[in-house]
Amino acid sequence: MKQNLKTLALVVSSCLFASQAVAQTVDLPQALAMSLSADPRIQEKEMLVAQARAMLAEAQGNYGLRLDANLFVGLAPGVSGGFYQGGANSGTVPRDDAYHPNGLSDWTMLQFAIIKPLYTFGKIEKYSEAAQGNIDVKHQDSRLQRGATMLDVNRAYYGFLAARDTRRMLEDVFRKVDDSIARVERLIREGSAQVKQSDLYELQSKSAVLKRYLAQAGAVETISLNGLKVLTGVGVNADLSVADDALAATPLPTLSLTDYQGKAASLRPEFAQLEAGLRARRALVDAKKAESYPDIYAGLAGSFAYSSRRDSLENPYIHDPYNHAGLTPVLGMKWNVAFDVVPARTAQAHAELDALLAKNRFAMLGIPYEVAEAYANVQATWAAQNELATGAAAARRWMVASFADFTAGLESVARVAEALKSYATIQADYLMTLNEYNLNVAKLTRVTGDYK
């Protein structure tokens, strides 16, 4: 019995420890760090960078040794007459392998060449340069995805806080509406002239509307938290909570618009990506042009053949394809040119380069505008949330005072209902604008490229 209790205690304690290990509270920087490590989209981009590095290794590998070999086994035909063995001119014993069955013999043949490029008129160098540019382009793709992930995390984190604060506010208003309904119902039963039946209907209709918005806020709260769980990699079923007790405004960015546009010009991944792409395309154009020139190489070339049932032709002036051996160092030039194809490929590379140049010109114009747009939105929402914060505080005081006066019999139901509605509307608008401001700050960070 004691052993069973001990085992049960161990199981319970291990379960409690496991649940404590799973539960996690994160703030925004922690959520960002977790998401940047866990997001499969970033991992996908990083794998494409690795693939681009492998393409560079492939291009540079063309400097190494190359083997061109052909080994096969076949049949050699029999011979009769012709040259005599040993090169003798006897005329009595002709060369004759036909005594073997059907006059056939096995035939093993090896032809090979081991060469190393010495000079390719820039083909390897330019293809390698294009491959390096491709690596830089893919690396900036990874940075772009990191920026998108960070914005997604900000959206989920602040969205959860805004929805939670909205739900709490609506629950507070809903309680006051319920209290008002209960008081009106009591006064109606008592036959008080202070209230009318229509007052009760008005409060009940506003209660129904509040329930609707309360349900919506709860849904957004759940969706945002689940999205944050997915982004951080803990999983939808994990126990995750946020460290912030309430939604608050992030500090107002202090740099000028010109400063942010300057940062974007030096930090935006798109600029680095375009520069790398242009470098790669120019190198590719030069590589396509170099396709018209040969490759100069050095190496070894050899050929070996053996037929076990066929006599060797021992004559230095006659090559015997069925029994021989030869090996020689070589120095050569090799062309592999499709004369009508090379100009077309060069024109294609030029067109792709021109397209990239056009994209670069648009980025030079569009990115400063994008920064200006984000900067204007930050300034506008900062001012708006400040004004709404003042209005929401005043609306709450109005609601509390009206509710207190109504409880004391000094205020009408219509005025209380209006105060409750105004507070709920302004406070919800304030939280929405505050959330929008925080997201605009995050977007400004993204459009300036001020992230890793």
Each residue of 125-139: pLDDT tens digit? Answer: 988 988 898 888 888
Instruction: List C-alpha distances in Å: 170 to 175, 210, 399, 428.
Output: 8, 7, 13, 9
Does any domain span residue 19?
no
* Residue in 47, 45, 41, 37 with CA at minimum distance from that of residue 234: 37
pLDDT value at position 90? 47
pTM: 0.78
Coil, helix or strand at residue 79: coil
Tell me: do 135 and 211 sit in the same domain. Answer: yes
Q: Which pLDDT does position 4 carry in this prediction? A: 47
- Of 315, 334, 353, the one marking the end of a domain is 334
Q: Tell me the C-alpha distance between 273 and 136, whole Å.
A: 7
124 and 200 fall within a common domain: yes
Span 91-107, pLDDT tens digits: 444 455 555 556 678 89
| Residue 11 located in a structural domain | no
Same domain, 185 and 310: no
Are 405 and 411 spatial neighbours (Cβ–Cβ below 8 Å)?
yes
Torsion sign, CA atoms 159, 165, 171, 173: negative
Give the domain-ending residue among 334, 359, 383. Answer: 334
Are both 198 and 177 inside the same structural domain?
A: yes
| 394 within some domain | yes
Closest CA to 153 of 354, 452, 395, 439: 439
Helices 123-190/197-232 angle, 10° precision? 160
Are 385 and 277 within one domain? yes
124-128 LR contacts (CB < 8 Å, sep 24+): 124/59, 124/60, 124/62, 124/63, 126/283, 126/284, 126/286, 126/287, 126/290, 127/59, 127/62, 127/283, 127/284, 127/287, 128/56, 128/59, 128/60
Nearest Cα to Cα of residue 326 among 305, 303, 298: 303
Per-residue confidence (pLDDT) for residue 111, from 0 to 100: 95
In terms of residue numbers, what domain contains 316? Answer: 64-119+295-334
For residues 221 and 368, state if they share a domain: yes
Q: What is the pLDDT of residue 7?
A: 42
Measured between alpha carbons, how far is 300 from 333 in angstroms, rounded to an integer? 14
Q: What CATH code is carried by the domain that includes residue 184?
A: 1.20.1600.10
Verify that 125 and 187 share a domain, yes or no: yes
Residue 3 lies in a domain: no
| Cα distance between residue 283 and residue 273, in whole Å | 15
Same domain for 93 and 149? no
3-state secondary structure of 39: coil
The distance of Cα 231 from the centroid of its chain, to the nearest Å, equals 13
Angle ∠(369,255,162) on CA atoms, nearest 5: 80
Q: Are residues 102 and 203 in the same domain?
A: no
Strand 24-26 to strand 240-242: parallel, antiparallel, or no bridges (unpaired)? parallel
105 lies in the same domain as 233 = no
Distance CA 281, CA 301 (A): 37
Last residue of a domain, one of 278, 307, 334: 334
What pLDDT score was predicted for residue 100?
54
Residue 171 confidence (pLDDT)? 92
In a domain, 20, yes or no: no
Looking at the structure, tell me whether residues 168 and 272 fall in a common domain: yes
The closest alpha carbon to 176, from 212, 210, 199, belongs to 210
Query: Could you tell me if 142 and 148 are in contact, meaning their C-beta atoms sit under 8 angstroms apart?
Result: no
Does residue 7 lie within any of the structural domains?
no
Q: Is residue 151 part of a domain?
A: yes
- Ranges under pLDDT 50 in the chain: 1-21, 87, 89-94
Based on the fold, state whether residues 53 and 74 are members of the same structural domain.
Answer: no
User: Cα 161 vs. chain centroid, distance in angstroms?
Assistant: 26
Cβ–Cβ under 8 Å, residues 447 and 150: no
Q: What's the structural domain count of the chain?
A: 2
Q: What is the CA radius of gyration of the chain?
A: 41
Does residue 239 fall inside a structural domain?
yes
